Structure 1
Amino acid sequence: MRQFVRAIVLFVIIASGFLISCETNFKDVQRINTVAFAPAARSEDINLKYTDSGKVKAILVSPLMLDYSNMQYKFNEFPEGIHLTLIDKSGKNSFVVSDYAISYDDTHIIDLQGNVKITSYDGKELQAPQLYYDQKNEWFYTEKSFKFTDGKESFIQGVGIDFSKDFKVFNMQHNNGEINNVE
C-alpha cells in the first residue's frame, strides 16, 4: 500500500510540474502574439491648421487621432477618417475625404484608405479605394483603381495614377474614359 501511495504522490508531483510548465509555455505563446503597440496620445474631435509663412495651407478635421510618436517610425493614425482642406496660393480650396488615414512623420506621406475622394475648387473629382499624398511635393499617387471626372461630362478611369495637387499634371498607367467638349 505504501508503494501505491508513493506512486500516486510521485504522479501528482510530476503532473503538477508538467501543468505548470505548460502554462508557462502557453503564456509565452500568448505574449508572442501581442505587440506593445499603444499610442503616446489620443485626440478626439481635432481641427488642425497647417501654416507656412503665416498662411494657412491645410485644415485637417477628424473625429479621432492616435499619435504614435513613441514608435521608432513615428506616425499618426486616423481610424475614423479625415476631412482635409488644401488651400492653394490664390486661396482656392480642394477637399480630400477618406474613411481611414495614416500620416508618416519621417517621409511626410499620408496613406488615405477607404472611399477616398478628392474634389478640386473647380469641380474636378477623383475617387479611389486608396491614395497616397506626398506632402513635400504636393503629389498624389496610387496603384489601385481610380475614377476621375472633370465636373462636366468627361471621365477617365483605370488602374494606377499620379498627379499634382491642382490636377494640372497627370500620369496614368492603364486607363479608359470618355472626353466630351474638347476645346
Structure 2
Amino acid sequence: MTKKITYNILNIVTIIMVTMFFSCKDNFKEVQKIGISENEPVGIDYNINLKYTDSGRVTANLISTKTLDYSNRDFPFREFTDGVTLYIFDKDNNKSTIVADYAIIYNDTDLIDMQNNVVITTHDNKVLKTDQLFYDQKKEWLYTNKPVSFKTESDVINGNGFDSNSKFTNAEVLEVTGIITLED
C-alpha cells in the first residue's frame, strides 16, 4: 500500500514539474520594462556628438544638445528636441551642413527625419530650405515632399519636393513653382 501511495505521489510531482517546465517562457524584455512607462524615454543624453563611419571613413557627424532615447519601444528611435546639426561628408571629404530645430533617428531603418527650419548648405554654397527633410544614411540620400527653396549659383528654385544624393550631384526640385535667376 505504501508503494502505491509513493508511486502516486511521484507521478503527481512529475506531472507538476513537467507542467511547470513547459509553462515557463522568456519574458526578460517584459521584466526590463517594469517601472518604465511606454511613453517615457529610457534615457536622456546631453551634448551628443555622434559620428557615422563607413570603412573607416566618417560619412556623417550629428551634433545636438539633448537627446531622448526611446529604445524601449517596439520601433525604437532617438528624439532630438532641442535641434540638431548634421554634417555629411562625401568620398572627397567635402562637407555639407544640415541644421534643423527638431529631429528623430529611427534605429531600425537608419532614417533621420529633420523638421522645422531645415537648412542645408553644401560645400559649394548651394542652399536648400524646407520644413521637413529625410536623410537615408544607408543610401546617403536626401528627400522631402514639402515645399522647398533651393538656391544655386545662378537660380533660386521653388517647388514642392526635393530629391538628391548627399553630394548634390543630381539634386532635383520636384513640382517647380517658380525660378528666379540671379544676376552678378
TM range (shorter): 0.7 to 0.9
Other structure's SS at 1:159 match: strand
Counterpart of 2:75 (choices 73, 76, 87) is: 73
Distance 1:77 1:51 in 2: 21
Counterpart of 1:124 (choices 123, 126, 129) is: 126
1:88 Cα deviation (Å)?
A: 1.1
What's the C-alpha RMSD, in Å, of the aligned pairs? 1.6
Distance 1:154 1:172 in 2: 12
Q: Which runs of 5+ in 2 are unaligned?
A: 1-36
Distance 1:52 1:139 in 2: 15
Q: Which runs of 5+ in 1 are unaligned?
A: 1-34
**Distance of aligned partners of 1:170 and 1:121 in 2 relative to their CA distance in 1, 3 Å threshold:** closer
Counterpart of 1:94 (choices 93, 96, 121) is: 96
1:149 equivalent in structure 2 = 151
Distance 2:166 2:41 in 1: 30
Distance 1:92 1:172 in 2: 22
Deviations 1:36-72 (A, max 9, x none): 3111111001111222222221111100011111100
1:141 Cα deviation (Å)?
A: 1.1
1:76 Cα deviation (Å)?
A: 0.6
2:41 equivalent in structure 1 = 39
Distance 1:89 1:173 in 2: 26
TM-score, structure 1 normalization: 0.75
| Code of the aligned partner of 2:169 | K
1:168 equivalent in structure 2 = 169
Count of residue correspondences: 146
**Distance of aligned partners of 1:179 and 1:137 in 2 relative to their CA distance in 1, 3 Å threshold:** farther
**Distance of aligned partners of 1:74 and 1:46 in 2 relative to their CA distance in 1, 3 Å threshold:** same
1:135 Cα deviation (Å)?
A: 1.2
Q: Percent sequence identity over matched residues?
A: 42
1:103 equivalent in structure 2 = 105
2:66 equivalent in structure 1 = 64
TM-score, structure 2 normalization: 0.74
| Code of the aligned partner of 1:64 | K
